[in-house]
Structure 1
Amino acid sequence: MHGINNTAPSALLDLAVTDIECVAGDGLGSFWAPTPAALDRLRRPPDAAGRRGFVPRGIRREAYSWGGLVRSTPEPTGPGGALVAGLARVGWALLLPFSIANAAVWCWRLPTGTVVLSVRAGLVRLFGGLLTLLLLSTVMSVAVDLLAVQCYAGDSLVCTVLPQPFEALARWTPERRMALFSLAPVLVVVGLWLLSGISRLRYDVADRYLDAREPSASADAADAQKADAPLLARPQFWSNRGETRRLSLGHLAAGVSLVSAELGAQAVIDGGGVGLAMAAWLCGGLLLLSLATVFGTRTLPVERVAASAAGRWQKTLAGLGGAGYLGTLGLLIAGWPSTGGDATGRPGFTVTALAPLTMVGLMLALIVSSVFFRLPRAGAALRFEAWHGLAPAVFLSLALGIGLVLSSLVAVAAGDWLNGGAGASALLGSGPAGDPAATVRTRCTGTCVSLDPQLTIPTLYPWFGGVALFVFAAAVLVVVAALLRRRAVARRVEVWAPSTSFVGTSAEDQPMPVGSAAELLALLGPVRDRKRATAARLHLVEPVVAILAAAAVVAVLASELLAWLYPRLSASPVTAGVQAAWTGNAGWALSWLDVAMGAWAGIALLVLAGLVLPAGPGRSTRPLATVWDLACFLPRAGHPLGAPCYTERAVPELSRRILWWLRPESDTPATRRREVVLAAHSMGAVVSLAALFSLSSHPHWAALRPRMSLLTFGVQLRPYFGRFFPELLGPAVLGTTPCLRPRLWAADPWGADHSAGAPEAGANAAAAASPVPARRWVSLWRATDSLGFPAFSNRPTGNPIDEFADEIDTSGYTGAVGAHQGYYRTRQYHSALADLAGTVRPDPR
């Protein structure tokens, strides 16, 4: 099984494309095997065992390709298909904040046993609902405020960059234009809801792929259903289509109600009558009720879900939200009662300006409340959890920061384009009252045309762009300083592989034989050491993310404060001293806003390129897509509108293939008992372990477990998943030793974890009774791998799982230093496979 790089099946099998064939599956997930002709050709030469792609006799080797599930993009066929695939990836990338917020619902100490409703999970779901509303509020600001209201003055279109069809709308009343353009945010939330439903149909297949559980389950299967069983072993974990659907309906109801409430409230401010006021109050009440429903919708496996829960209440709420929106549209279109105010004379869409401020303030409060998720655990235990137990706060902070960056880019870019390119600072409106240079909107009583429309947007967006760039630049400087520090991991690695050390020869030494291992090590030793140091720097994910999350919180707090103060400073008379200070000192700050938003636009393009463009010719790897894949391996229990969870299909699909192979009736009678060795790379190890835990609830698993083995390589289970998600893949679930955090300023980030003490003497005995549902587990790693770590402990003493793999690959024409790829070419891989599969060990040459 491949990892997050979506290695092609031919590369997984180390064969040419013409030497493999698809034996099962479709475009999303498929199983590939060498062709009979290729197997026959590979096994004929006397040195066959040393050739790439060789399959020992007695083994049927298949590659499971689940890359089609990741990022859910269409298969690029031709230039048009490549363009569509790229746009699809961009669309999924824009939903990254939703996926990061969803991860927060899984990363804290979940309740042991079953609870009626988890308040902490409800707070994360409420945060996800507010994140959806922030996106819709941004679309409202652009579509309804800028396009429908501020771009028109009297009977004229003042935003001259808009195409000619927009001029015909100048004869409409502002209320009717608001009603028309409000379709944009409604279509956005309906589109996200439909996309979520479509992805559930394609991904949530556990009830169709896994066999139905027999009424008389075995004792082992019954134990797996207990409340204290690992979450990954509960069938509900992989079949939560109903929970996600109900939660998505709550988001739909909240989004539509927000649009209706903002439309009605602004119309009332402009002079609307009782009808619009009642519509605004009713839709506002539906909005609060929808958010309460999002909070109370039970989505976690530990929450008790009624068997009769069919989402009728969520459907009713969504229907009421739609009815409220249609009623508000009817009042606006009919113009009854007519709004007596002059919409073209107000300094911006005030309700839309207030909405994001309120939502961000509430999300900040939820982030603060998530700090207490780690209570009442002991302080010593928190050392082995990410960010000392503050993982929910970190994930929520990142989601809010990235979401606000995207919202600011959209709002400022649209406003600046419509405003004639005057810059982000021009979108703030006027400065302090009394400023002679303050911008004042022209009130048009009749037909008038202005070459400078002087648009304004919610002040939160430009202020956040400027403040966030400054704060993040300071955070990046700290990170760069840490990464530039010299790294040395030789002492830790020497314990694992003392034979890999090399001391240069002196003049008295005998010359090394040409082509010997010593000569190869002399040539590639410096490259290996540099790769080790680079990998050690890239292992600092946890402290670096903590710095960025802290920067996001600081930027949001400062922006929220400035966004609240600036309009009040602009509207209030000030003294001459304050006026002079503003006139003399504010220029550089406003200029910084213009520069900052341009810089953010460039950063956004680079990030999207990293998510969309391949790393090199013929490869599907996208450098920053790793973040996407790591955030989307969990079911959407916190936010239902993010990118789909690929493990919801990969795990049942892999489980079904394993059961097919182990059953005698799947093929002709086998000459010996069939077994399975799951050989998984990187993220594939997470999918494999999840499949094993899923199979542990099978009624016949007691007889099947001795026939299952696991071989992993280049995995992140212990330092990342074990610390980030302790309830899913932590030490208690996998039977590994707890992991200390990497040290940002230490020469060896894992030196403290390495020195924390060796595993207990009974580790081998514990391995025999490992909670991992497999007969045996072997894991390979090397120090040159930036994404690979030991799975059991950072020490080899008493370690029953980990083995150090060769860092120098000699299987090719020239030697090369391996990193995250190519583990299946090492001697240790072939030896471990032979041990687990019960075949003859290959020649150590």
Structure 2
Amino acid sequence: MLELRVHGINNTAPAELLDLAAADVERVAGDRLGSFWTPTPAALDRLRREMDAADRRGFVPRRIRREAYSWGGLVRTTPEPTGPGGALVAGLARVGWALLLPFSIANAAAWCWRLPTDGRTAALSARAGLVRLFGVLLTLLLSTTVTSVAVDLLAVQCYAGGSLVCTVLPQPFEALALWTPGRRMALFSLVPVLVVAGLWLLSGISRLRYDVADRYLDARDPSPPADSAGAQGTGGPLLARPQFWSSRGETQRLSLGHLAAGLSLVSVELGAQAVVDGGGFSLNASTGVSGGLLLTALITVFGTRTLLVEGVASSSAGRWQTTLAGLCGAGYLATVGLLLAGRAPTGGVGASARSGFTVAAVTLLALVGLMLAIIASSVFFRRARAGAERRFEAWHGLAPAVFLSLALGIGLVLSSLVTVAAGDWLNGGSGASALLGSGPVGAEPAAAVRAICADTCVAPDPRLTVPMLYPWFGGVALILFAVALLIVGAALVRPRSVARRVAAWTPPSPADETSAADQPMPVGSAAELLALLGPVRDRKRATAARLHLVEPAVAIVAGAAVLAVLATEWLSWLYPQLSASPVPAEVRAAWIGNAGWVRAWLDVAMGAWAGIAALALAGLVFPAGAGRSTRPLAIVWDLACFLPRAGHPLGAPCYAERAVPEVSRRILWWLRPESEAPATGRREVVLAAHSMGAVVSLAALFSLSSHPEWTRLRPRMSLLTFGVQLRPYFGRFFPELLGPAVLGSTPCLRPRLWAADPWAADASAGATPVPAADTAAAGPLVPARRWVSLWRATDPLGFPAFSNRRDVNPIDEFADEIDTSGYTGAVGGHGEYYRTRQYRSALADLAAAVRPGPD
């Protein structure tokens, strides 16, 4: 029997997953991205001959081949940290991947809709098109941010009167003072173009390295799997379709649309600002053409079908996207050519003394306004259904709106930090409030000060401005996020107790049966160990219950993000108008002169965001675990990057596009008669999957369920999961992919924010199985002979896979919370389930044989 262990969120190293020392394991297949490991023959022989071998860590019974699949290298892969230089590069790579987090979160929203499997795709295409449109607007937000810094600040505002006024810049920038503003704009516009093109190239490279399903699995026409048909109408589960993990063509077409839109937006901003500064007819015409291409790119992205249930086009249907990207590139080159040819004003005063609604500010407000409109529309795109069903879906069916709100909030935080930090540095450290503009009418901008200053004057600090949305968002968001964190913090400090629910799963312990009249407990007995570690266990249970409140906590943070964006959008439109001369003087005084505390707060807020960013980046650059490949933001990353990039093609690559086919191929390698391995009787496989590894393993099983030989191979396939989030997270967030109708589990109610036990309501009789599930057999919809899942109350990321109720639950088993396999006892958490008695018993049971003892 092959026992194939698949790790989860913590990216457990192969040696730790096999519970052995690093010198006792060896790689038998794969590369640094995904690999399979086994104990060395010497380690196996030594373990089997030691005293009490069956109870020692890492012991492998005879007739079992134990392997560990390591897929952690697929998640935001970084260079090997060899030496100080390599560690720095690896840290910077982790930071770079973290900056793409908004893209990955937005991509997850594409899979939260009701995904029909019966051919009715019109409504789905419209909803998916909205997510794709939101995704390209996020890309344009990044492009606008870089353009504001590179073109507006560096190329234009840092130069006045033929001189460089941003004295913090190095000497080579002084030579550019002799250039016209238009030529500097053309030169510095290469920065946003290179950023967008670099992301497009990175997306293409990751597709070549990750999308291997067509090489690992047979490319077959989708057909209802024998074991899973009926779970979702006539089409079967989406994960059972062979093409689900082969999305290279769709991602490529969508990425070309993003490239085209990014190039067009840079052209539009360059041309429009040059026109505002006094450009001629040729620039007007070029800007108009670029604007038309930008609109065409947005429509193309909206209509590019990327979800399998939309009926995606063939891989050769990307010619239009390629042509469009070429046209947008030509439009950008034409605009740059006009600027270099001098088709723009040569004076620096008019171009430098900017205030109010600049092209960059209007572009930013328009982008954010469109994204807010998409979020609002997603609220009304929910398919009408009974309210009783919505309570089994995340945020009552508003998961797309929540994911999009988080993506927009995080994206604006990052954009504000980059823009305000760059502007403040170039501005001589005047603070974020100075970047809002001149303030009261009459204040002189940098160009005017430079004009009245003699050549011998000491140049004053520049008076740069940035789009007002950036500093305003930093100040408003910090207040609202602080309020949200206070609400979440108040819920977290509330006393928690899960003893009543756990009591239904566990028999009375020795300590519970001991009374004051009993004899003293023997030294080293289970009762004494429980008495010593019982308080620690209870504290870990309470902590785990608090950390289970992910869904309501995320809803609060997402709501704060939307309110912050709405308030910032309103302030960004209002502030320039109240600063204008037609407004009565007393109004301006009340708004600006007497509101110095508002400006002071903006300075404090951006400083606080800078500190938060520094701490977050430090945590990314310096891994916390020595000898362990720690992955920051693991839960968010694993949720967001598990799915193909159907909503945003430029985010972190989907690790499952390679992990799922690799696990599937390894199973077939072991089970099929034509396998490379020697045929020695009947072979079986137990997939032992931890945390996110269970999601990968289930996806692999569903992908195999449409294999022509799976009807014969299925009885030799079993599943053993532990510490999983299938039911409360994936089942509620993505019901069509891993919901109760697919897995045959009971639907899950949301955790209660203020209840002592967040899952008390779910454990009551209110949560009943869906009609498709057979509670007597449990899990018949999963394409495996049998499924056993372990959980414990001290696990902050582990839940029952079938139901929170012990009765009528043939899948879940409660695992030991106190680990006695080491030198000293310890209370277990999210890992090391394979050290428990329940794991060994389940493994022996699934192997259909009594666990053999050591020879």
Please give the range of the TM-score, normalised by the shorter of the 2 chains.
over 0.9
Deviation at 1:210, TM superposition (A): 1.1
1:751 match: secondary structure: coil
Residue 812 of structure 2 corresponds to residue 806 of structure 1: no
Residue 362 of structure 2 corresponds to residue 357 of structure 1: no
Deviation at 1:605, TM superposition (A): 1.8
Bigger drift between 584-593 and 192-201 goes to 584-593
Say whether the 8 Å CA contact 1:259–1:325 is kept in structure 2. Answer: yes
* Map of 2:788 onto structure 1: 778
For the residues of structure 1 that align with 2:344 and 2:164, how far apart are their CA atoms? 25
For the residues of structure 1 that align with 2:273 and 2:246, how far apart are their CA atoms? 43
2:47 match: secondary structure: helix
Match of 2:464 among 455, 463, 480: 455
2:26 match: secondary structure: strand
Say whether the 8 Å CA contact 1:267–1:339 is kept in structure 2. Answer: no
**1:109-139 deviations in whole A, cap 9, x for unaligned?**
1123235651000000000000000010000
For the residues of structure 1 that align with 2:728 and 2:490, how far apart are their CA atoms? 23
Residue 262 of structure 2 corresponds to residue 255 of structure 1: yes
Deviation at 1:544, TM superposition (A): 0.1
2:380 match: secondary structure: helix
* Map of 1:371 onto structure 2: 379
Question: Counterpart amino acid of 1:166?
Answer: F
CA spacing shift, 1:215–1:256, aligned 2, 3 Å: closer
* Map of 2:390 onto structure 1: 382
* Map of 1:102 onto structure 2: 107
Residue 730 of structure 2 corresponds to residue 721 of structure 1: yes
2:76 match: secondary structure: coil
Say whether the 8 Å CA contact 1:348–1:456 is kept in structure 2. Answer: no
Match of 2:448 among 430, 442, 445: 442
2:278 match: secondary structure: coil
Residue 69 of structure 2 corresponds to residue 59 of structure 1: no
Question: Counterpart amino acid of 1:96?
Answer: L
* Map of 1:335 onto structure 2: 342
2:329 match: secondary structure: helix
For the residues of structure 2 that align with 1:455 and 1:772, how far apart are their CA atoms? 61
Match of 1:159 among 166, 169, 179: 166
* Map of 2:119 onto structure 1: 114
Say whether the 8 Å CA contact 2:272–2:287 is kept in structure 1. Answer: yes
Bigger drift between 757-766 and 348-357 goes to 757-766
Question: Counterpart amino acid of 1:588?
Answer: W
* Map of 2:797 onto structure 1: 787
Residue 739 of structure 2 corresponds to residue 734 of structure 1: no
- Correspondences of 1:466-615 after superposition (within 5 Å): 466-500=475-509, 502-503=511-512, 507-583=516-592, 585-615=594-624
For the residues of structure 1 that align with 2:795 and 2:411, how far apart are their CA atoms? 32
* Map of 1:26 onto structure 2: 31
Where structure 2 has 5 or more consecutive residues not aligned to the other structure, the ranges are: 1-5
2:508 match: secondary structure: helix
Say whether the 8 Å CA contact 2:433–2:602 is kept in structure 1. Answer: yes
* Map of 1:402 onto structure 2: 410
For the residues of structure 2 that align with 1:601 and 1:684, how far apart are their CA atoms? 35
Question: Counterpart amino acid of 1:528?
Answer: R
CA spacing shift, 1:182–1:769, aligned 2, 3 Å: closer
Residue 433 of structure 2 corresponds to residue 425 of structure 1: yes
Deviation at 1:377, TM superposition (A): 1.8
Q: How many residues align?
A: 842
**1:153-196 deviations in whole A, cap 9, x for unaligned?**
02100000000000000000000000000000000000000000
For the residues of structure 1 that align with 2:449 and 2:333, how far apart are their CA atoms? 31
- Correspondences of 1:229-308 after superposition (within 5 Å): 229-307=236-314
* Map of 1:651 onto structure 2: 660
- Correspondences of 1:661-676 after superposition (within 5 Å): 661-667=670-676, 669-676=678-685
* Map of 1:7 onto structure 2: 12
Residue 81 of structure 2 corresponds to residue 84 of structure 1: no
Question: Counterpart amino acid of 1:88?
Answer: A
Deviation at 1:374, TM superposition (A): 1.8
Say whether the 8 Å CA contact 1:497–1:804 is kept in structure 2. Answer: yes
Say whether the 8 Å CA contact 1:432–1:570 is kept in structure 2. Answer: yes
Say whether the 8 Å CA contact 2:740–2:770 is kept in structure 1. Answer: no
1:712 match: secondary structure: strand
Deviation at 1:415, TM superposition (A): 0.1
1:283 match: secondary structure: helix
Bigger drift between 611-620 and 279-288 goes to 611-620
Question: Counterpart amino acid of 2:798?
Answer: G
For the residues of structure 2 that align with 1:305 and 1:72, how far apart are their CA atoms? 29
Deviation at 1:346, TM superposition (A): 3.1
For the residues of structure 2 that align with 1:317 and 1:196, how far apart are their CA atoms? 18
CA spacing shift, 1:466–1:32, aligned 2, 3 Å: same
CA spacing shift, 1:718–1:424, aligned 2, 3 Å: same
Deviation at 1:767, TM superposition (A): 2.8
Where structure 1 has 5 or more consecutive residues not aligned to the other structure, the ranges are: none
**1:513-547 deviations in whole A, cap 9, x for unaligned?**
11000000000000000000000000000000000
Question: Counterpart amino acid of 2:386?
Answer: A
Match of 1:707 among 716, 722, 729: 716
Match of 1:660 among 665, 669, 688: 669
* Map of 1:822 onto structure 2: 832
For the residues of structure 2 that align with 1:477 and 1:30, how far apart are their CA atoms? 43
Question: Counterpart amino acid of 2:817?
Answer: E
* Map of 1:325 onto structure 2: 332
For the residues of structure 2 that align with 1:819 and 1:359, how far apart are their CA atoms? 44
Residue 51 of structure 2 corresponds to residue 43 of structure 1: no
Deviation at 1:761, TM superposition (A): 13
* Map of 2:641 onto structure 1: 632
For the residues of structure 2 that align with 1:179 and 1:215, how far apart are their CA atoms? 50
Say whether the 8 Å CA contact 1:464–1:555 is kept in structure 2. Answer: yes
CA spacing shift, 1:140–1:205, aligned 2, 3 Å: same
Bigger drift between 106-115 and 312-321 goes to 106-115
Deviation at 1:79, TM superposition (A): 1.7
**1:232-288 deviations in whole A, cap 9, x for unaligned?**
111121001000000000000000000001111111111111100000000000000
* Map of 2:424 onto structure 1: 416
For the residues of structure 2 that align with 1:221 and 1:723, how far apart are their CA atoms? 20
1:442 match: secondary structure: helix
TM-score normalized by structure 1? 0.96
CA spacing shift, 1:777–1:336, aligned 2, 3 Å: same
Deviation at 1:36, TM superposition (A): 1.2
2:651 match: secondary structure: coil
1:750 match: secondary structure: coil
For the residues of structure 2 that align with 1:24 and 1:588, how far apart are their CA atoms? 63
1:771 match: secondary structure: coil
For the residues of structure 1 that align with 2:589 and 2:462, how far apart are their CA atoms? 27
Say whether the 8 Å CA contact 1:144–1:181 is kept in structure 2. Answer: yes
Deviation at 1:731, TM superposition (A): 0.4
For the residues of structure 1 that align with 2:228 and 2:795, how far apart are their CA atoms? 38
Deviation at 1:81, TM superposition (A): 1.4
For the residues of structure 2 that align with 1:780 and 1:443, how far apart are their CA atoms? 72
Deviation at 1:837, TM superposition (A): 1.1
CA spacing shift, 1:192–1:308, aligned 2, 3 Å: closer
1:498 match: secondary structure: coil
**1:593-630 deviations in whole A, cap 9, x for unaligned?**
00000100111122223344323322222453332222
For the residues of structure 2 that align with 1:760 and 1:380, how far apart are their CA atoms? 13
Say whether the 8 Å CA contact 1:764–1:799 is kept in structure 2. Answer: no
- Correspondences of 1:834-845 after superposition (within 5 Å): 834-841=844-851
For the residues of structure 2 that align with 1:216 and 1:463, how far apart are their CA atoms? 53
Residue 209 of structure 2 corresponds to residue 199 of structure 1: no
TM-score normalized by structure 2? 0.95
Equivalent pairs: percent with the same residue?
A: 79
For the residues of structure 2 that align with 1:667 and 1:272, how far apart are their CA atoms? 70
* Map of 1:73 onto structure 2: 78
**1:781-828 deviations in whole A, cap 9, x for unaligned?**
000000000000001101010000000000000000000011000000
